[in-house]
Structure 1
Amino acid sequence: MIKKEKENPTQKETGAVRVYGVLRDEILTMKLAPGSAIDEVSLAERFTLSRSPIREALVRLSADGLVTMLPNRSTVVSPMNFSQIPEFLDALDLVQRVITRLAAMHRTEAQLIAIRKAEVAYEKALKICVKNGNSQGMIEKNYDYHMAIAEAAHNSYFTDVYRRLLEEGRRMLHLHFQFQTLDEHKTADQIGSDHSLITNAIEARDVELAEKYAHQHAAQFRGRFMQFLNRNLTSDVQINYP
């Protein structure tokens, strides 16, 4: 048994933050599969911590919707309900269109600068992602970009709904990106071109064009994700039947 030193509040907080960050990355990149059990004792040994900061980290992950704490005190990685994906994609499309339209209508100059900065950060993360295959940085910067647009929409109710949809869609985005990178001809500029169109429309205060590009962005994500679900990895396998 590993002996752990008594933790002061600062160490406890730092430990919980560290565990939260590591587990969050592993869940979002599917290293921890949906539905898999999470054992507090094993995590305490892995991070050389008591179970208290482990529980704190799991509570935060539960608030993010990434883990589910069951009545019997066990915890699992939140399952992905594929039967609800069409509903999710419909909601994402509608809310994204509304958010982007409102941003084009109400954005300030400071908010436009923030959107541009978030777009540049996303493009940098995307290039790194295409190069090394690790999608985590790209997923985070994609979230930041869309939330910068949401802030410019000036409607806290729509922003809260959009935030929830983007949070729930992170693992889908990882799967979607992994599928896109199977196409060796896809470049980072091609993958990220949608954002530039959206930002330009917001800058021009063209509400109709902003909504159009937001819809196209959601529709392309829908199409590519459904391609991922329908992919046939064995189509070229030849089997000789007797």
Structure 2
Amino acid sequence: MSGDSEARRVRGTGWKSVYYTLRGEILSMVLQPGQLLDETTLAERFDMSRSPVREALIRLAGEELVIALSNRSTIVAPIEVATFPKYVEALDIAQRMNTRLAAALRTEADLKLIARRQKDFEASVHTGIHLKMSEANKQFHMAIAHSGKNPYLASFYERLLNQGQRMLHLHFEYLERTHDGYLLTDEHNDMIEAIREKDVDRADELAHAHTRQFQANFVKFLKENYSTEVILTV
């Protein structure tokens, strides 16, 4: 590849391939919490200069998926168990508010999109690929959020969903391994029905129960399946 071509790749879309690959590996736990991400090693892996690698890491840091240390090293962000109750508290509020607004303000076009996203989630469950499942789950909930017509609440909710995707991955893993509990499909359908009926209180109730079900199963995972291979900040 010529120097000009390399420069165009660095300034253009070179970082995107690094970003999406690393993001997928972090969310699916292929890259473990606390794992060192060395720019030189990554540049060699992706066969490109360090500039696009650095750009990708900056963007991942913006999503709080990696942490830049004082010695200029970068690590995969730990899963912070100590702050999990506060995370769930914020998630519960955001989920309830966005679902309430969706029930009050949704259009027929919104309903169709929400139903389509639920079909996508159901299809992802059949693949058994947790990353696809967590991404499809996020898109389902964001379709609900956008139906609420409040971009500020939707943006806050999306940030929380992004932060929770690794925990959701562990949640799915736990349910599939133990069969103790159930996936989210039935709850999603109940939420859709409440939104369709414009039943704001029922939508609120279901969104709250949805968060609590996730919380309960993730706590069970932590208690019964703690592994020293995963760094859990306590």
User: Matched residues in 1 for 2:191 and 2:133: separation?
Assistant: 18
User: Matched residues in 1 for 2:163 and 2:9: separation?
Assistant: 31
Give identity over the alignment, percent: 42
* AA in 1 matched with 2:153: F
Q: Secondary structure at the match of 2:79?
A: coil
Number of residue pairs the alignment of both structures matches: 224
1:214 lines up with 2:207 in the alignment = yes
Query: In terms of mean alpha carbon deviation, does 171-180 or 91-100 score higher?
Result: 91-100
Question: Hey, what does 1:152 align to over in structure 2?
Answer: 147
Match of 2:218 among 215, 225, 242: 225
Question: Hey, what does 1:43 align to over in structure 2?
Answer: 42
User: Matched residues in 2 for 1:54 and 1:91: separation?
Assistant: 32
The 4+ residue runs of structure 1 with deviation greater than 4 A are 184-187
User: Matched residues in 1 for 2:131 and 2:209: separation?
Assistant: 24
Any stretches of 5+ residues in structure 2 without a counterpart? 227-234
1:81-136 per-position Cα deviation (integer Å, ceiling 9, x unaligned): 1100011111111211111011000111111111111111011011112xxxx201
Any stretches of 5+ residues in structure 1 without a counterpart? 234-242
TM-superposed CA distance for 1:232, in Å, is 5.9
User: Matched residues in 1 for 2:159 and 2:10: separation?
Assistant: 30
1:111 lines up with 2:110 in the alignment = yes
1:34-56 per-position Cα deviation (integer Å, ceiling 9, x unaligned): 11110010011111111111111
Question: Hey, what does 1:166 align to over in structure 2?
Answer: 161
User: Matched residues in 2 for 1:9 and 1:163: separation?
Assistant: 32
Match of 1:142 among 126, 137, 141: 137
Question: Hey, what does 1:194 align to over in structure 2?
Answer: 187
Q: Is the 8 A contact 2:10 2:51 kept in 1?
A: no
* AA in 1 matched with 2:63: D
Q: Which has more radius of gyration?
A: 1
TM-score under structure 2 length normalisation: 0.90
* AA in 2 matched with 1:215: H
Question: Hey, what does 2:126 align to over in structure 1?
Answer: 127
Question: Hey, what does 1:239 align to over in structure 2?
Answer: none
TM-score under structure 1 length normalisation: 0.87
User: Matched residues in 2 for 1:93 and 1:219: separation?
Assistant: 8
CA 1:186 to 1:91, structure 2 compared with 1: closer, same or farther past 3 Å? closer
Instruction: Quote the RMSD (CA, aligned, Å).
Output: 1.8
Q: Is the 8 A contact 2:94 2:153 kept in 1?
A: yes
TM-superposed CA distance for 1:76, in Å, is 1.0
Question: Hey, what does 2:80 align to over in structure 1?
Answer: 81
